[in-house]
């Protein structure tokens, strides 16, 4: 079907009556093209995409080199028996592990972030011989069984018990936490220690692992405080647990370093990557140490799937890493993030509805409140803002849940230019002027 042949009424009739519900409220735009930092609708409207697809198109939509590698690889090899290996898989394993520190030596490639986290959790259980998994209260790790069980931000109701042994720590939230020093500053260490005292009280003595995101994107773009991950690692070591870091959105340059954990001074026992590694194609990775890998093999670990180590996504992953390194996109992510964050902070001077700006590289949270003193979230105004931004040509991801209904989650491709950041800021400012006139 060509763009000219699209009948909008028929399109939405089919969408509304034939697509199964999975939790989304569809944006009423028919997207027919994507390129660079833009998506286009069937009427030719050009929309700045500050979600990178689903926080995935790291080097931009329809990157010509990515398109070419897909075509070239698929014309040569498409899919193999899972016990067979192909050159793209070996190349990606080599390139990826060379970018990582010692202790992250062995990698398995899968399709989604949930799948990689499922692998990581099962691996931790197999190696430790224990079954309890600790997550953060505003986390999102996936929709498969074990990953969903340690996802606390949403999706826990209406379907019976979660996987046994799922325990929760309070998510660090510098803006909203009740844990404060006498001077009013955030006391995250006391909060973390108190959380672990509750974990110890709940545990049956079978603590296997902790899984955390460096930035809880779905939780409202909450950045782990400086020193937090180091303290978390100490708690893990004290209890004989493994530390899993889920970098689905933060990995491969998104946060102004190749991996977010590098800024936090800790090497995880298991690292999970997805989204950004495949630039929108289904590609994920679980990476661990030689020692954990050997122990897993000795203990009979099994995570054999149809799409383990697929060649076409692996070839794309190789090209993504090449582009990020060659084009110095990690530095660009840092610089453009500083530019965007500074612009939003300046906007706070005019609009008191902006309660907080959270930024690390090109992961940015903008929280809309009714009042800065009370910090009461304002999801209604935020929703209105999102619609006006879309009208003005900017797609910014608003997370519509009760606790963080007023937070915009923005993560444009890290290939974005300074001019495109300025354009986005001008659209945001224009939209605020319309909504708060």
Opening angle at CA 209, ends 206 and 211, nearest 5: 145
Cβ 250 vs Cβ 213: under 8 Å: yes
Of residues 123, 133, 206, the one with CA closest to residue 169: 133
Dist. CA 150–CA 139, nearest whole Å: 7
DSSP string spanning 365-394?
A: EEEEEEETTTTEE-HHHHHHHHHHHHHTTE
Quote the DSSP letter at residue 339.
H
Cβ 261 vs Cβ 245: under 8 Å: yes
Of the residues 187, 191, 213, 378, only one is catalytic, namely: 213
Of residues 157, 154, 280, 167, the one with CA closest to residue 220: 154
Of the residues 122, 125, 254, 275, only one is catalytic, namely: 275
Dist. CA 343–CA 26, nearest whole Å: 29
Residue 409 is among the residues annotated as catalytic for this protein:
yes
Cα separations in angstroms, 257 against 36, 314, 350: 21, 22, 32
Q: Which helix (H) or strand (E) holds 109?
A: strand 106-110
Of the residues 125, 233, 360, 409, only one is catalytic, namely: 409
Of the residues 49, 122, 132, 140, only one is catalytic, namely: 140
Opening angle at CA 24, ends 22 and 28, nearest 5: 130
Residue 263 is among the residues annotated as catalytic for this protein:
no
Residue 180 is among the residues annotated as catalytic for this protein:
no
Of the residues 130, 187, 239, 249, only one is catalytic, namely: 249
**Cα dihedral across residues 148, 154, 159, 162: positive or negative:** positive
Say which residue the tokens 């011989």 belong to.
Answer: 129
Dist. CA 153–CA 105, nearest whole Å: 31
Say which residue the tokens 């990557």 belong to.
Answer: 273
Residue 275 is among the residues annotated as catalytic for this protein:
yes
The residues that bridge with 210 in the sheet, in sequence order, are 134, 243
Of residues 397, 423, 366, 394, the one with CA closest to residue 175: 366
Of the residues 49, 118, 191, 246, only one is catalytic, namely: 246
Residue 249 is among the residues annotated as catalytic for this protein:
yes
Dist. CA 281–CA 302, nearest whole Å: 25
Neighbours of 307 (CB within 10 A): 16
Say which residue the tokens 């735009």 belong to.
Answer: 29
Q: HSE, CB side, 13 Å, CA atoms: give it for residue 142.
A: 25
Residue 140 is among the residues annotated as catalytic for this protein:
yes
Dist. CA 341–CA 335, nearest whole Å: 10
Catalytic residues: 140, 213, 246, 249, 275, 409
């Amino acid at each position: 079907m060509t763009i000219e042949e699209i009948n909008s009424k028929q399109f939405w009739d089919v969408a509304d009556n034939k697509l199964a519900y999975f939790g989304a409220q569809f944006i009423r735009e028919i997207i027919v093209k994507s390129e660079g930092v833009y998506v286009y609708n069937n009427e030719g409207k050009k929309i700045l995409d500050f979600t990178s697809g689903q926080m995935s198109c790291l080097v931009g939509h329809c990157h010509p080199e990515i398109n070419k590698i897909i075509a070239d690889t698929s014309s040569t090899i498409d899919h193999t028996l899972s016990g067979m290996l192909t050159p793209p898989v070996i190349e990606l394993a080599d390139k990826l592990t060379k970018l990582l520190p010692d202790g992250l030596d062995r990698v398995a490639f899968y399709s989604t972030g949930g799948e990689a986290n499922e692998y990581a959790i099962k691996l931790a259980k197999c190696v430790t011989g224990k079954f309890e998994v600790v997550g953060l209260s505003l986390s999102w790790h996936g929709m498969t069984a074990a990953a969903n069980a340690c996802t606390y931000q949403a999706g826990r109701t209406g379907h019976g018990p979660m996987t046994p042994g799922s325990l929760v720590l309070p998510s660090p939230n510098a803006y909203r936490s009740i844990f404060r020093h006498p001077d009013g500053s955030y006391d995250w260490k006391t909060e973390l220690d108190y959380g672990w005292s509750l974990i110890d009280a709940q545990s049956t003595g079978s603590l296997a692992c902790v899984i955390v995101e460096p930035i809880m994107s779905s939780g409202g773009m909450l950045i782990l405080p400086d020193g937090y991950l180091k303290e978390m690692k100490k708690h893990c070591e004290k209890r004989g647990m493994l530390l899993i870091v889920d970098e689905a959105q933060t990995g491969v340059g998104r946060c102004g370093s190749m991996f977010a954990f590098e800024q936090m001074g800790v090497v995880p026992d298991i690292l999970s990557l997805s989204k950004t590694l495949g630039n929108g194609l289904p590609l994920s990775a679980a990476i661990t140490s030689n020692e954990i890998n050997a122990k897993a093999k000795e203990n009979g670990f099994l995570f054999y799937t149809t799409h383990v180590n697929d060649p076409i996504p692996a070839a794309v992953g190789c090209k993504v890493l090449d582009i990020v390194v060659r084009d110095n996109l990690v530095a660009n992510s840092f610089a453009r993030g500083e530019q965007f964050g500074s612009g939003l902070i300046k906007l706070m001077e005019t609009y008191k509805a902006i309660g907080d700006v959270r930024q690390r590289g090109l992961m940015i949270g903008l929280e809309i409140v009714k009042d800065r003193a009370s910090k009461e979230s304002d999801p209604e105004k935020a929703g209105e803002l999102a619609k006006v931004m879309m009208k003005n040509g900017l797609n910014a991801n608003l997370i519509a849940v009760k606790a963080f209904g007023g937070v915009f989650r923005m993560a444009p491709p890290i290939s974005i230019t300074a001019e495109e950041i300025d354009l986005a800021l001008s659209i945001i400012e224009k939209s605020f002027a319309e909504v708060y006139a």
